[in-house]
Amino acid sequence: MVARALAAPSPLNIQPWMVRFPVPDRIELCIDPGRILPALDPDFRRIFIAHGAFLENLDIAARDQGYRTDITLFPSGWPGARLDLSEPVARIDLIRDTAVEKDPLAAVLFLRRTSRIPFSGRSIGQETLAGLSDSYDQSAIPMGLLTDPGSRSAIAALLYQATAIELSGEDRFRELLLFLDTTCRSDRRAGCNLTDLGLSSLSLVWLRLRMALVSGDRREALLKETLISCARRQASTAAGFGWITTPGNLRVEQIRAGRAFERVALTAASLGLSFQPMTQILSDYPGMEDLRNNLYDFLGIPRNRTIQMFFRIGYAAPVPATPRRPVGTVIR
């Protein structure tokens, strides 16, 4: 079950999960303190969303194997302003139940992909959009979708500017480099490399050649330029955008938004849609506030709500799965 849950998405594919088996039929899910992003995700929002996605996968996998899950969030007590990373995020009790209803999304747990390549110009039909909207019960955590060209262009302009702001922070860029392998090692089990950026084969060869010819600040400037250019192509080729909101921004809301987000991503895979989170604009970095407020205003989201996830959808050629750590490495 844990091995299937590990297929969940996480920021930069850092896979920030750690599990314990304290007693039979119980799993405790914790944050791996060695896999956090203090500069890129200083409030841990993305980390908790990733844990929500893990929980959703785990629940789907458990039901597929004839178990119900009784999930208790923060069993040691609600987290305060300071997080104790030694305490579990969730306790999952497994109850054998041969009558439990299986989830059809179990068939696509290993088929979900984050696609960073440019999407085609193919539009998304209303039936497909309706299928995406039916991914989960939206009564508490609503989702919005838009596909009209004018709105897409306006949002795309905000998104690639957000990428530039994220990369403008030296500490954030240094942290990104920790999980972006520019040597493209074949033995990596987490993080991303240049082949995951969505570049064409020719562009990738040209980038590697240019990076080999420069060093230091010039090499870093080239990489930043490439990342911003990729974000521009990604945003501008989206056939639609979607977002998930919560009433506030509590930890439990972030986890529940992560579960909802994973159901949307898995449903997109089942419908043949390509899918990519684009969440830089939701961050609290210096200089991001105006862009974030512009996004809220454009979408008509009240400031007392929180956009937890933002993503693009469309159609593109299949992309390979990013690697995952062996399941034994996440068990403590």
pLDDT at 106 over 80: yes
pTM, rounded to two decimals: 0.96
What percent of the chain has a predicted confidence (pLDDT) above 90?
A: 94
The fold of the 126-314 domain, in CATH, is NADH Oxidase (3.40.109)
Q: Are strands 180-181 and 192-193 parallel, antiparallel or unpaired?
A: parallel
Kindly report, as residue ranges, where domains of CATH 3.40.109.10 are found in the chain: 2-110, 126-314
What is the helix (H) or strand (E) element at residue 19, kind and residue range? strand 17-20
- Specify the pLDDT at position 80: 72
What is the per-residue burial (b if ≥16 Cβ within 10 Å, else e) of 157-183? ebbbbbbbbbbebeebbebbeebbbee
Top CATH class, 2-110? alpha beta
Question: What pLDDT does 222 receive?
Answer: 96
